[in-house]
Structure 1
Amino acid sequence: MLNIDFLASHNAIHKVAASQKITFSVISLSLVTLLRNNILSVWTLLFMSSVIIFYAKIPWKTYVTLLIAPIGFVFAGMIAIVLSISFAQPIPISALWHSTLLGMQLFILPNDLLRAITIFFTSISATSCLYFLILTTPMYEISPVLARLKVPTIIIELIELMYRFIFLLLQTVAQLYTAQDARLGYRTYRISFQSLSFLISALFRSIFFRHQAMTYAMTARNIEQFIIPQQFLSEKAWDQKLTIIAGGFLIVTFVLIV
């Protein structure tokens, strides 16, 4: 995941205007989340994946790895939606599956299963829309666009800080875990839990000190905000090919809706 920044700056469409990529991503994301149609979600997932891999030239292994990551969270939410629990009421006749565990009656209803499937496809397709933006557009190009849209500066800076410290968090965790593992810090369950508590404590201390050092560095250079002014960024034009691709997507989406 530490390669996301590199891919965002070194892909086949990195010279395309950030405003065009943001517009395409937001429109497709809005259609998927508002309409919540399984056919539309599958179409959006396949289309956006094709654009990311074949047009933006993002390595398919990296994209698939990133796409698999949120599936675990989606499945965890699906279990809470699909599985119904009853202590005294009789199981509905329409239940697709039922079982008894420790006095509880567990069962699955058709409507709950369909709702969970819809949420699954909607979530994954929406994720692909966001990945199109994240993997093709650096954060320093997104911020000026948000500023032109009159998004409050404090919100933009919070987004940039969160984006920055996610990667610092992952890098620090990897370094601390490697250091602990080299010292046999995970050879037994008891020592593993102890090492995990030390890792979490050291992690928060490290992130706090890094944030403090970055704040001092910005203050010393008289920097008041993280947003890079537009005049320091190269001008990028809208890409005609991407416009045609987006138009084709909207036409097929309209046909599917109708």
Structure 2
Amino acid sequence: MLLIDKYAYITLFKDVHPVEKGVFAFSLLLFCIVTKNLYVGLFTFSIMSTAIVMGAKIPLRYYTQMLKLPAFFLLTSALAMLVSFAPADVALSGYAVKSEVGRWQIYITVDNVKRVVGLVISVFASVSCMYFFILTTPAQQMAWLMHKLRIPALFIDLSLSTYRFIFILLQTVYEIRLSQASRLGYKSFRSTIISLGQLASVLFIKTMKSAEEVNIAMATRGNDESVYQTHMNLRFRSLHWAVITLAGAFQCLLLFIT
């Protein structure tokens, strides 16, 4: 079990009703995307990060590592949006930084800086909302929530089985690679290629075997019911809805005063 799945089962928010967590995360996410307001994005990222680290007790170091992945892809897009090029004989205005290289001018405008800053904040705010829901909602609660949204049981089983198999495959890859590395399987380029080929073949065999075992298990149950339980005993709490309402109201307030 990877940490992202482990934390979903041990977090302090695991017993919070999934509807409350879903409304909290996705309402703030939707409002942030629709408004595209800088201050709304900052507030959304701040409150979600606080809820993840201080509320759910997810380690700050792990949360920071999770943010590195979207940050890497965002950096490439931000650089392309930030830097502009123009011929050296073209008169420029409104730029913040300019440099001439041969017959070309490389410059950064104030508008581009504002656009990139807004994009970065919106992306991190949106990602933090998704991370909050993923890190605090176990798979069974996701299944219950999708069931209440009238999503077909077949789709629920397929999506959550795929979700589960991803963690199983990643854990299997880690164990096989660790075993190969302990036998100096990656000491040279040739041995690395051989080890990667063996890893892929073993992983394929294990995947097919696991899929067959799941198919047999479902067949023994008659394939007439969902693999995941869709019953819960959690209750709504007025305090949680009050927090959700206050967060939404503060977003609206920021939108009107900025």
Shorter chain as denominator, the TM-score bin is: 0.7 to 0.9
Query: Secondary structure in 2 aligned to 1:69?
Result: helix
- CA–CA distance in 2 between the matches of 1:190 and 1:99? 46
Amino acid at match of 1:40: V
Q: What does residue 186 of structure 1 align with?
A: 186
Query: Secondary structure in 2 aligned to 1:9?
Result: helix
1:214 aligns with 2:218: no
Amino acid at match of 1:254: C
Q: What does residue 250 of structure 1 align with?
A: 248
Q: Does structure 2 conserve the Cα–Cα contact (< 8 Å) formed by 1:168 and 1:207?
A: no
How far has the Cα of 1:190 moved from its partner?
4.5
1:238 aligns with 2:236: yes
Question: CA 1:72–1:196 in structure 2 vs 1: closer, same or farther (change >3 Å)?
Answer: farther
Question: CA 1:229–1:196 in structure 2 vs 1: closer, same or farther (change >3 Å)?
Answer: closer
How far has the Cα of 1:171 moved from its partner?
0.5
Q: What does residue 92 of structure 2 align with?
A: 93
- CA–CA distance in 1 between the matches of 2:184 and 2:170? 21
Q: Name whichever of 70-79 and 92-101 sits farther off.
A: 92-101
1:133 aligns with 2:133: yes
Question: CA 1:113–1:201 in structure 2 vs 1: closer, same or farther (change >3 Å)?
Answer: farther
1:72 aligns with 2:75: no
- CA–CA distance in 2 between the matches of 1:85 and 1:18? 49
Note the residue ranges of structure 1 that are not aligned, 5 or more in a row. none
Q: What does residue 18 of structure 1 align with?
A: 18
**CA offset digits 1:87-109 (Å, max 9, x no partner):** x79667255345659x9876545
Question: CA 1:249–1:164 in structure 2 vs 1: closer, same or farther (change >3 Å)?
Answer: same
RMSD (Å), alpha carbons: 2.9
Q: Name whichever of 136-145 and 107-116 sits farther off.
A: 107-116
Question: CA 1:37–1:192 in structure 2 vs 1: closer, same or farther (change >3 Å)?
Answer: farther
State the percentage of identical aligned residues: 26
Q: Does structure 1 conserve the Cα–Cα contact (< 8 Å) formed by 2:144 and 2:232?
A: no
Amino acid at match of 2:72: G
Matches of residues 50-199 of structure 1 in structure 2 within 5 Å? 50-84=50-84, 93-94=92-93, 96-98=97-99, 100=101, 108-199=108-199
Q: Name whichever of 41-50 and 217-226 sits farther off.
A: 217-226
**CA offset digits 1:204-255 (Å, max 9, x no partner):** 443333223222222123244545343xx33111122222221221121111
How far has the Cα of 1:138 moved from its partner?
0.8
Q: Does structure 1 conserve the Cα–Cα contact (< 8 Å) formed by 2:157 and 2:228?
A: no
Q: What does residue 28 of structure 2 align with?
A: 28
- CA–CA distance in 2 between the matches of 1:91 and 1:203? 57
Q: Does structure 1 conserve the Cα–Cα contact (< 8 Å) formed by 2:85 and 2:106?
A: yes
- CA–CA distance in 2 between the matches of 1:63 and 1:117? 21
Query: Secondary structure in 1 aligned to 2:120?
Result: helix
- TM-score, normalised to structure 2's length? 0.83
- TM-score, normalised to structure 1's length? 0.83
Note the residue ranges of structure 2 that are not aligned, 5 or more in a row. none
- CA–CA distance in 1 between the matches of 2:140 and 2:74? 30
Question: CA 1:93–1:69 in structure 2 vs 1: closer, same or farther (change >3 Å)?
Answer: same
